[in-house]
Amino acid sequence: MYEDVIKRKNEIIQKAVGIDYSKFEIEGIAFDYDRMMKEVSYTIEEIRKIQSETQVGNTPLVELKNLTKLVRKVSKPGKGARIFLKDEAANPSGSFKDRRASVSVYHAKNHGYKGVIAATSGNYGAAVASQAAKYGLRSIIVQETFDSNHVGQPEILEKGRACEAYGAEVVQLTVGPELFYYTLKLLDETGYFNASLYTPFGIAGIETLGYEIANQVKSRYGKFPDVVLVTHAGGGNVTGTARGLKKAGAVDTKVVGVSVDLRGLHMASDHDFNRKSFTTGHTGFGIPFSAYPDRVDVPRNAARSLRYLDRYVLVTQGEVFFTTEALAQIEGMMRGPAGNTSLTAALSIAREMDEDQMIVVQETEYTGAGKIPSAQLTFAKKMGITVKNGDSIKEDVPGKVIAIPENVEQIGIIEYSLENLKKSYVKEAMKAYGKQKFSAAEMKFMAEDTNSNLEQIEKNIEEVSKDGKA
């Protein structure tokens, strides 16, 4: 049964998504990304109308005046940019993922599918279930929930309960490769739509977020934001937001990706599974999905973050917990945890910027019993992790120590080299396609896909080849 399902994966996925990806293929690694995004999905005007029908989008843009004052107290004179927050918790299921789900579920309904399936341990499951309920479709959410001892993280269990509350059938699995197999099996058996995170529908749904940010700031202050911080996981959030900013005319706004630093923990490890306090927005997604986007459940991933990132920074688990508490106690907004990843970086990056500049944190998410810091930290202690106050950048060790800063001055960022990430992209492409040389069409695509030039791609190929021989 397993071999049969895996052998037919392309057939199953194509039927469940309704996209003929082959017509966008060029050669090898190269495909026509821009044409796929233009032809397969909907225009931004159409998406705004689709989303308005199910109360998605048009969320508040909130100036965090108290946090800005706090940052300015520890900044050099004239420094400390104004910090704004796009409050995506105002969406129906409480996160920006409603934007992603709205287009996929609308498309499924309009093309005669009786239900939708999504493989996710996060907020996207609740978003799909919520939108399916609005359209009268059935929904199945497949979650990686437990380790081999059947122990589940409070955040994932919380999200499973949310999915069930919206009427979804939730299939909960242990960590490992069975997630992909069970998803394929259910798609094959039910004939439901694959509401994958990585289709053009899902990415186009997020474009309205970037579009709204640009227009809200411009209409209120007469200019576009200087910097938009985006929590970076699989790449869809960065891709959709950046594309929306550009469509609104904010072409000079810098897009900064932010991930929680969980380097050293393996995503598929049974041992590591419950030793991370963040299930998304971390390096376990942000780094590998940037370096090899097509590692997903559709033939070609529409989320391609290296095309759009101007900078990539990391923050620690302890810093995010500090920021979550600060947002609640100083601004009176209980949100998080994942949505506060970018806000954490804002508390540091704002100090680099001038007082008259504006930085927008691009999303928040709802919180709940399993997601609040006390639940997460209590669980971490049960898993043998040391929780302490201290210098988070120096003392935080993923899977071993969570060091929570004692004041805002201890909030910092770790720069992650985009050039190294682009080199990793080339390395992964050489490995995936089993070759050292690429055609002119492939080279052009790789340059576009990493926002590089041909000389940089050639240099990276040469360096990776040399490293392999050493």
Whether residues 7 and 109 fall in one domain? yes
Residue that terminates a domain, selected from 143, 177, 200: 200
Whether residues 21 and 139 fall in one domain? yes
Number of domains in the chain: 3
Q: Which range among 267-281, 405-419, 429-443 shows the weakest confidence by mean pLDDT?
A: 267-281
- Tell me the C-alpha distance between 336 and 319, whole Å: 13
Estimate to the nearest angstrom the gap between the alpha carbon of 115 and the chain centroid. Answer: 24
Whether residues 103 and 88 fall in one domain? no
Is residue 421 in some structural domain?
no
Whether residues 36 and 183 fall in one domain? yes
pLDDT given at position 469: 61
Domain that holds residue 168: 2-50+95-200
- Whether the model pTM is above 0.85: yes
Answer with the residue of higher pLDDT: 467 or 390: 390
Whether residues 292 and 409 fall in one domain? yes
Q: What is the per-residue pLDDT across 45-88, written as a single tens digit (0 to 9) for each?
A: 999 999 999 999 999 999 999 999 999 999 999 999 999 999 99
Whether residues 284 and 267 fall in one domain? yes
Q: What is the per-residue pLDDT across 383-394, written as a single tens digit (0 to 9) for each?
A: 999 999 999 999
Estimate to the nearest angstrom the gap between the alpha carbon of 126 and the chain centroid. Answer: 15
Is residue 309 in some structural domain?
yes
Is residue 89 in some structural domain?
yes
Whether residues 369 and 451 fall in one domain? no
Is residue 420 in some structural domain?
no
Q: 87: which 2 tokens?
A: 């409050």
pLDDT given at position 5: 81
Asked if residues 12 and 184 have their Cβ atoms less than 8 Å apart, the reply is yes
Whether residues 111 and 219 fall in one domain? no
pLDDT score of 328 more than 70: yes
pLDDT score of 302 more than 90: yes
Give the DSSP H/E element, type plus range, for residue 259.
strand 254-260
**What average pLDDT score do residues 171-199 get?**
93
Whether residues 252 and 231 fall in one domain? yes
Interhelix angle for 97-110 vs 44-53, to 10°?
90
Asked if residues 104 and 128 have their Cβ atoms less than 8 Å apart, the reply is yes
* pLDDT band at 2; cut points 50, 70, 90: confident
Phi/psi class of residue 62: alpha, beta or left (left: φ > 0; alpha: ψ in -120 to 50)? beta
Long-range contacts of range 390-397, CB-CB < 8 Å, 24 or more positions apart? 390/318, 392/316, 392/317, 392/318, 392/319, 392/322, 393/316, 393/319, 395/318, 396/261, 396/316, 396/317, 396/318, 396/319, 397/264
Whether residues 19 and 69 fall in one domain? no
Domain of 318, CATH number, reads 3.40.50.1100
Whether residues 246 and 333 fall in one domain? yes
Whether residues 175 and 231 fall in one domain? no
Residue 401 bridge partners (DSSP)? 386, 397
- Tell me the C-alpha distance between 191 and 193, whole Å: 7
Overall size of the chain counted in residues: 470
Q: What is the per-residue pLDDT across 227-246, written as a single tens digit (0 to 9) for each?
A: 999 999 999 999 999 999 99
